[in-house]
Chain A
């Protein structure tokens, strides 16, 4: 579904991605793990065209989206819950969800919002509260909910577990599984929480310093000694 080949992305003179190639298969959950600063978030943003890849190609369903404007890329059916969640803090929860659906037709709105409220009942309770006043976990739910409002075919999630209590992390991962299984949404998950991510994912990639260094099924990586010592030992 998503085909990334030889992508180089720069921030000024700094090369953040040094020729990344990977694939996300339709219907699967793929995950990208790696330490802080490896370039994981940069890759997600490069898929959406901001920043743009200097070399290489990004194909979505066979279509070259490397040079497409961001707002047109997401209209193809890609939604992102980005790094730092980026909730519209001076808008209410409801308005944030409306923003997620801004490119969708009216009749789909009711269906999508009831699905989001079903997945995250907490958001329904807080619908009239300002985004900026929510707790970290609630903001994460809102960021995922907002992404789902566009009825995406592919969901890009950037560290949905970051800074959240273990209970909330469990809940978020449970929802990701549901979205993938019940709503048939392809998921590309970027995580530092390698254990949870690999357990959930069909396919995994490891990123080090802007390069993909390993790939395999979630299970393979989970038992791989290198992955274990670098990302799994201690803290879990």
Chain B
């Protein structure tokens, strides 16, 4: 039982990270119907900006951890958003209106470019980081010889931050004019333009918002695992994409749910079966779900009255 609870906590942490990245996939898919395969690498950029940010904080002598963390998050969000915006601008916008495959190929190219770009600038070796936030809470004491359930402060921060961000983001999409413009462009871009929405800018904004959330995930992963390299975006991106599809691509709540599902599956599989096959487990579940529910958990089959 204790062991199970511990894995649940680990899975939730991992799932939060996947969920944050998955939102970027689902938003972009929702609005322009393409899979942004460079999104995983945008997340990787976020992690690198994070690690550079912490070094800058150290140089500036900002040692109070909450302040340093906040500043680094802001810095990562800003820089990573610029990358997200630029990628859309140079790699996807010129191809809008061409056949469906073109932006997809462009996205793959962008992904390879970003990986090589970071590899050239930062080197191919892994970047380690000193743990900044250590310690944690002991939730269940297993007694002598038993299993003690713990939750590190880092895990608490990741889960809390994710919950807050997702709540804020959901409010943004459902209640504000900005969110309505996003949804309007998802449903009918021509009509959105006819009521005065700047469609190009709204699409850019979807990329910026997705990149901002991925940046937070990147910083969190840097702190949580303590090592990053230029290649982390590939698998994390693939997992988050799986999460988005599992939850129902195009649905924001679905992306969050899918992220949690993938995180839990991975953690529990690693705990009870073999760690080597955790990726196989995650992707197998995807296949199973898609066989029985092709539109994912929360995907909406399009039934519309004309």
| Cβ-neighbour of A91 out of B184, B197, B303 (below 8 A) | B184
Tell me whether A164 is interfacial, beta carbon within 8 Å: no
Name A71-94 residues within 8 Å CB distance of B: 71, 74-75, 79-80, 82, 84, 86, 88-91
Residues of A near B188 (CB, < 8 A) are 86, 88
State the Cβ distance, A134 to closest chain B Cβ, in Å: 8
| Cβ-neighbour of B194 out of A82, A133, A139 (below 8 A) | A82
Pair B187/A48 contact, Cβ less than 8 Å? no
Among the listed stretches B6-14, B175-183, B235-243, B261-269, which one makes contact with chain A, having 4 or more residues with CB under 8 Å of it? B175-183
Q: A150 vs B194: C-alpha distance in the bound complex, in angstroms?
A: 11
Pair B194/A48 contact, Cβ less than 8 Å? yes
Pair B190/A99 contact, Cβ less than 8 Å? no
Residues of B near A217 (CB, < 8 A) are none
A82 nearest in chain B by CB position? B194
Tell me whether A146 is interfacial, beta carbon within 8 Å: yes
B187 nearest in chain A by CB position? A88
Q: A133 vs B192: C-alpha distance in the bound complex, in angstroms?
A: 20
Pair A150/B180 contact, Cβ less than 8 Å? no
Tell me whether B121 is interfacial, beta carbon within 8 Å: no
Tell me whether B304 is interfacial, beta carbon within 8 Å: yes
Tell me whether A3 is interfacial, beta carbon within 8 Å: no
Q: A146 vs B188: C-alpha distance in the bound complex, in angstroms?
A: 15
Residues of B near A21 (CB, < 8 A) are none
Considering only CB atoms and an 8 Å cut-off, how many residues of chain A contact the other chain?
28
Pair A90/B196 contact, Cβ less than 8 Å? no
Tell me whether B193 is interfacial, beta carbon within 8 Å: yes
Tell me whether A23 is interfacial, beta carbon within 8 Å: no
| Cβ-neighbour of B195 out of A69, A100, A132, A134 (below 8 A) | A100
Q: A200 vs B305: C-alpha distance in the bound complex, in angstroms?
A: 30
State the Cβ distance, A168 to closest chain B Cβ, in Å: 16
- Main SS class of interface, B: helix
Q: A82 vs B306: C-alpha distance in the bound complex, in angstroms?
A: 13
Q: A150 vs B195: C-alpha distance in the bound complex, in angstroms?
A: 8
Residues of A near B303 (CB, < 8 A) are 132
Task: Check A89/B305 contact, CB under 8 A, given A102-B177, A102-B197, A146-B195.
Answer: yes
Name B262-306 residues within 8 Å CB distance of A: 300, 303-306
Task: Check A98/B193 contact, CB under 8 A, given A71-B199, A86-B188.
Answer: no
Tell me whether B119 is interfacial, beta carbon within 8 Å: no
Name B191-215 residues within 8 Å CB distance of A: 191-199
State the Cβ distance, B221 to closest chain A Cβ, in Å: 34
Considering only CB atoms and an 8 Å cut-off, how many residues of chain B contact the other chain?
22
A88 nearest in chain B by CB position? B187
Residues of B near A170 (CB, < 8 A) are none
Pair A74/B183 contact, Cβ less than 8 Å? no
Interface string of A117-137 (1 = CB under 8 A from B): 000000000000000111000
Pair B194/A102 contact, Cβ less than 8 Å? no
Pair B304/A91 contact, Cβ less than 8 Å? no
A103 nearest in chain B by CB position? B196
Pair B180/A102 contact, Cβ less than 8 Å? yes
Residues of B near A75 (CB, < 8 A) are 196
Pair A90/B187 contact, Cβ less than 8 Å? yes
State the Cβ distance, B79 to closest chain A Cβ, in Å: 29
Residues of B near A50 (CB, < 8 A) are 190, 193
B199 nearest in chain A by CB position? A71
Tell me whether A28 is interfacial, beta carbon within 8 Å: no
Task: Check A88/B191 contact, CB under 8 A, given A71-B196, A102-B180, A103-B196.
Answer: yes
Q: A82 vs B190: C-alpha distance in the bound complex, in angstroms?
A: 10
Q: A98 vs B187: C-alpha distance in the bound complex, in angstroms?
A: 15
Pair B181/A102 contact, Cβ less than 8 Å? yes
Pair A132/B305 contact, Cβ less than 8 Å? yes
Q: A70 vs B202: C-alpha distance in the bound complex, in angstroms?
A: 14
State the Cβ distance, B99 to closest chain A Cβ, in Å: 15
Q: A229 vs B194: C-alpha distance in the bound complex, in angstroms?
A: 36
| Cβ-neighbour of A103 out of B184, B190, B195, B199 (below 8 A) | B195
B300 nearest in chain A by CB position? A90
Pair B191/A86 contact, Cβ less than 8 Å? yes
Residues of B near A71 (CB, < 8 A) are 193, 196-199
Tell me whether A25 is interfacial, beta carbon within 8 Å: no
Task: Check A84/B306 contact, CB under 8 A, given A70-B193, A75-B196.
Answer: yes
Q: A150 vs B197: C-alpha distance in the bound complex, in angstroms?
A: 12
Pair B304/A89 contact, Cβ less than 8 Å? yes
Residues of A near B196 (CB, < 8 A) are 71, 74-75, 102-103, 150
* 5 additional contacts (CB under 8 A) given A88-B187, A99-B195: A50-B190, A71-B198, A71-B199, A79-B194, A79-B195
| Sample of 21 A–B contacts (CB below 8 Å) | A48-B193, A50-B190, A69-B198, A71-B197, A71-B199, A74-B193, A74-B195, A82-B191, A84-B306, A86-B188, A86-B191, A89-B304, A95-B180, A99-B181, A99-B197, A100-B195, A102-B197, A103-B195, A132-B303, A132-B304, A133-B305
Top 7 nearest A-B pairs (CB, nearest first) are: A103-B196, A70-B193, A86-B191, A74-B196, A89-B304, A71-B198, A132-B304
